Amino acid sequence: MGRARGQPEGAARRAAEDVLDILEVRGIDIPEAVRERVTDCDDPEILRHWHRRAVTAPTAAKIFEDE
């Protein structure tokens, strides 16, 4: 039972890491508040949205803004 619960948490953690990795590879500064908001999120749909936004956002904070 613990493993089944850990899989979604692990997926969310990995998705958050992917968002931050994209920003880092692009050379975008990631303020601590942005880093915390991303790593604290456990909603896969939100993380997926932020992941897509991280590819083109001019700043880290812009991933949170709606288009």
Distance between CA atoms of residues 55 and 67, nearest Å:
14
Domain extent at residue 19: 2-64
Per-residue pLDDT tens for 40-66? 999 999 999 999 999 999 999 999 997
Distance between CA atoms of residues 41 and 17, nearest Å:
11
Q: Is 61 exposed, middle or buried (0-12, 13-18, 19+ CB in 10 A)?
A: middle
Confidence (pLDDT) at 55: 97
Confidence (pLDDT) at 65: 92
Asked if 25 and 18 touch (Cβ cutoff 8 Å), the reply is no
Q: How many domains does the chain have?
A: 1
Confidence (pLDDT) at 54: 98
